[in-house]
Structure 1
Amino acid sequence: MIYHLAAADPEHMSNESIAEHLDEIIFAGQDAMADVISKIILMLAMHPDIQERVYQEIMSVCPDENSELSQEDCSKLTYTEMFCKETLRLFPAASFVGRKADADVKLDDRHTLPKGAEVIVAFFKMHRDPAIWGPDADRFDPDHFMPEKVAQRHPYAFLPFSAGSRNCLGFKFAWYPVKIVLAHLIRSYRFRTSLKMDDLVLLNWSIIILKIAQGCRSLWRNRRFLLAASRIPGPPGFPPLIGGIYQFYGKTDVELATALLDISQRYTSPVKFWLGPLLMVVVDRPEDLKIVLNSQHCLDKVDPYRFFRVDRGLFAAPKELWKRHRKVLMPAFGPKVVDGFLPTFAKTSRSLCRELERFLPAGEVNIQYQVEKCALKSICDPEAIQDHLETIIFAGSETTATTLATTLLMLAINRDVQEKVFQEISTVCPNPFEREFIDQGALSQLVYTEQVVKETMRLFPIGPIVARKATGDVQLTQVTVPAGANVTIPIYKLQRNPQYWGSDAEAFDPERFSPERTARRHPYCYIPFTAGLRNCVGIRYSWQLMKVALVHLLWRYRFSTELAMEDLQLKLSMVLRIENGSVLRIERR
């Protein structure tokens, strides 16, 4: 797939863009599917009569729990599909979707979306609208999707995968694994819970980004825009400077989403509100949705997606880029390709079943966690790992190359250290260019060379800051870090702390890593690759590559520079950079 993408559009398909596509296809798709399956199982547990009916249908189609479900078998599971759709109706994976109108979009005789408006499609509200689904809209009832009832509804009344020109590319991909996983699970297990529908607590993690700074003056002068906006109902505001921002100030992301939903419920769709100069329009009528989602002028995603740096992948790419990428990606989601995954789906499903076996004595299981774990395992099998080797090697090489360049800079600044390293190399690995390779035995004898590299990484760690999230209470020596806290590790500060490295901690001195001095320090004073359970897996790869490179470079060349340590200009962010240390003098030995 990567080759197909790059070959089809080499000008616009950058490595970053391909990486974002893979993130969406693999991780976003797997996470969304796992979330849907866990909700489906919860609905089965809460409705034993429906669970039994689904079980009977599955057993009638495929009674052998060890047999595989074909595409034809899946198509026969009509009630099972109705049940899955009802789950997605009440609990859509995305409660809202945003689009940006790049031209006026006429909805009906009374309403026109002006160019520049942000359009919010309120799936959650529409899927529970009594005007569409009847007075029992909040009740779980798979019969909502009986053919005769579906025929009476507008086709855009149910949009779990969005719709129109920018609908979910993998929607067909999602139905097969959901049915197959459900068939495997329900043939083996019966699920129960004491929870009722009224007990469920729904959290919406949609985040609204407030944009005030740009375009206030020009928007105020754009009277046509304001006139069109004034014709759309909505809460009072003070555009373009303040808008309705006072209604959202100080709220959490959950409270923001709740406030947005409240606005859409108090006004008839479409409804507008202002976030500073940003016009937001909420649309939840199926008739309007069909227009919005199929309009060529509503293909760009809203600006806030850029906040998450996902605006180069298919999910939120600009319109023109999206068109090119979708055209290239479509063959990878064709029926034959999707059908070819059926054996994999079955394998993953059986794996999940085997995992659940160990929870039988306890009688309960965190199904969300288990499904997500199984989904992750399904993309980390040996074949998948082979596919990621190129990324692992090149990403590792880039960081190793940066460290190697910094080491050469340190040797150029500290000529006495460079000479000492050269003498060690001459003793251990004379004439390295005449050898087929430098073996591990020789590399292990480059003790001082390794000290030089370690001292370089002490002063200039590639990752100056590392962050983790505590999923449970963590007892430290004096305090407890509570569950849910974000733990930040300032490696740069740690490795320059005079308390651990002495009063000359800012100086370059490889002798700090002599065996006797190392033995006196806490081992976690030095963690350039981090440490613990999630330390860098490429430590050995990095060390060997740097040593071999230094042997060859220093045997043949001498490096120098006029820079001193105090001249170096550092740029600290997620990655540590030396802004002015790239150019060195070089001479043949």
Structure 2
Amino acid sequence: MIVWFLFAMAVLWIIQFRYRRRRMYKLASAIPAPRTELPGIGIAGSLAGNAEDIMVTLQKLSYEAMENDGIVRGWLNHILYFLICDPIDLEVILKNCLEKDDLHRFIRKIIGYGGIFAPVSIWRRRRKILVPAFSPKIVEKFVEVFSEQSEVLAQQLANKTGIGKFSIFPHLSAYTLDSVCETAMGVKIGAQRNSNSPFLTSLNEILDIVCKRIFHLWLQPDWLFKWFPQFSKHERNIKILHGFTDDVIQKKRTELKKDKQNQPEADNHYNLCDYQRKSLLDLLIYLSGGDKGYTDVELREEILTLSIAGTDTTAVSIGYTLQLMAKYPQVQNKVYEELCEVLGDANKPIVKEDLHKLKYLERVVKESLRLFPPVPFVIRKVEADIELPSGRILPSGSGVVVSIWGCHRNPKYWGPDAEHFDPDRFLPERFNLAHPCSYMPFSTGPRNCVGYQYALLSIKTTLSRILLNYKVVEEPETGPIPHIRVKLNIMMKAVDGYQVALEKRKPSRVTST
């Protein structure tokens, strides 16, 4: 009798649940479903594999969206998502749906309410502080750090020549971490010379765990996650990341306090020009109001966010570009010729004026970011019904997967050669976007990446140093479409860890112009 009663209550609850969501079901039924959708669980089954399987599934969904006027829907059990790769619709979404999806709660456990993942109410205030901190005049001052750290990278790669293929990613992520820690926190951690850096190891491990929690439903409930072996590693890595960052913040607070005490009363004021030579941590303390500004926890949240975003996105961008250089040696030769013309001496420190002259390298980087964007998908929450320019209506309570990967490969906007690697498509006379949102490697709209100029300067500096000193070698691609297996690990990364071989270049005889 009790069993039948419980069964009846369950049925009544389901009926009531579905009745309350009847508008959602109606609007969802007007959008094409993916071919892999199953009754009850939707697309959950196809997202249960490893990081490469998940990326392959999302790529297939993006192609299906292209075939269906830029949109496809998918149920993740009872949660409704729309994957969209039409830039006209996405412009409206990215301007109006500013709240991050609930799936971001897993990374918030690590970084808290750092600007990228913060709720709108917190994000608005912090964005106002972050934007001036990443002004071009300040960011350009960091080129000196990028140049110094890229020289260390070139030295570390010297013993990799002549050994055949190896994974260059550990070297790249160590370079980006050294650069980020020096520019964001004002500390040198020497990750490039210490392959066992606890901060870097913890960062890589915890991002892998977060990605698994996002796509593996059984890891999502906190009470259930505690029973899995990943939980203890998750907590240990958080402790390492938080401990390191908190220690840096306390030392910086003490340093600034001493500096203030040592200044004459008349000079005891802030000048933004003085901060152009300081770290982002200095800037955040100053711009937020000094002692009355950000708390230590808020500073940790922002610095950790910058560290995670700056380390991985830049490293994977450099890695993809190097693999593309190896696959297309004729493109690499043109880059090298330009580098010899602009820089000349491979040992000459790189300055910002040099980077502005590297026009072909910039086109190569942009094309690399088009085909292999580090953040291929952005997820937003639909808090109120929204009608798109295409006429489709997305219901409140659903989520939107912004397929940057799909936008960048949509033949409707990029032509029949959308999958081809062609840096010259970014020539001024050829680059004519049908819609600005068809190219957005750093997202777009109010919540776009504030550090995109920082990333581009770091990428170009490092590529210049590597390609001046080494020829990157791999099996050349036989056609215009590059084939690189990728996986989704928060960022989109190469499955093989960016396997390349290096050959030491002979000193260039070309002098700088």
Q: TM-score, normalised by structure 2?
A: 0.42
Q: Which has the larger radius of gyration?
A: 1
Q: TM-score, normalised by structure 1?
A: 0.37
Higher relative contact order (CA 8 A, sep 6+): 2
